[in-house]
Amino acid sequence: MNPEKLKIAILGGTGNIGEGIILRLALQNLMPEGVKNEIIIGSRSRETAEEAAKQALSELGNYGFDTSKIIITGNTNLEAAQAAEIIILTIRFDYVLPLLDEIGDAIENKILITPVVPMAKEGSLFVYKPPSEGSAALAIRKKVPQSTKVVAAFHNVPAGKLKDVVKCKAVYDTIICSDDAEAKKFVMELTRNMGCLKPLDGGPLNQANTVESLTPLLVNLAKLNGLKDLGINCS
């Protein structure tokens, strides 16, 4: 697999984190190194996905980027997964396992990236609500084909900063966990090329629960202290 020429499906790519990932990956096509990513937005409705693709291209064009070198399309979740080599799940945990039943055959021998965090609001704050497996990442690994390489990444990335492809020059750390060394290395390189993120090796997939649990903490800290778009910077 060539990190400079990929078909990447963003399933549920109409939410904030999905939108930011789409824009950042698409802009890799304008890098002088000649990256050629094809981004496929997946949704339950092909029409919704196609509209999201048009909006992403329009947004990049409005920012002044040359969209003639950028490929962003929309399709159903299943067809997006079938066409892609890398699949990124940017949907709520409640919907993840049923979606995996739908796309199971399409993710054989592929890298599946999960930034999914199982959390719920209790009162005015959020709490981490892991499934019985211990984390969303482990529940996902249990559900997918054995050949699927599950990588946990992008959990604690500030969505607003990720989407701000013009003004945001800050570099945020993102912790990456996987039991597959080659898949982890590949995702770390993909992350590094996104421009505003620095990948950190977080160990095997059973460490993902600690990483996932940081997301509600950051959300709560932002709310309690009048802040927004908090992320992690270990430098």
Task: Please give the pLDDT value at position 29.
Answer: 81
pTM: 0.94
What's the fold here for domain 5-224?
Answer: Rossmann fold (3.40.50)
Least confident of 12-16, 48-52, 54-58, 75-79: 12-16
CB 120 within 8 A of CB 94: no
pLDDT value at residue 97? 94
pLDDT given for residue 14 in this prediction: 66
Mean pLDDT to the nearest integer, 140-144: 97
For residue 187, the surrounding DSSP H or E stretch is: helix 181-192
CA distance 59 to 23: 9
Letter for the amino acid at 7?
K
pLDDT of residue 141: 98
Write down the domain spans for the chain. 5-224
Q: What is the mean pLDDT of the chain?
A: 91
Using DSSP, state whether 75 is helix, strand or coil.
strand
pLDDT tens track for 215-233: 999 999 999 999 888 888 8
What 3-state DSSP class applies to 151? strand
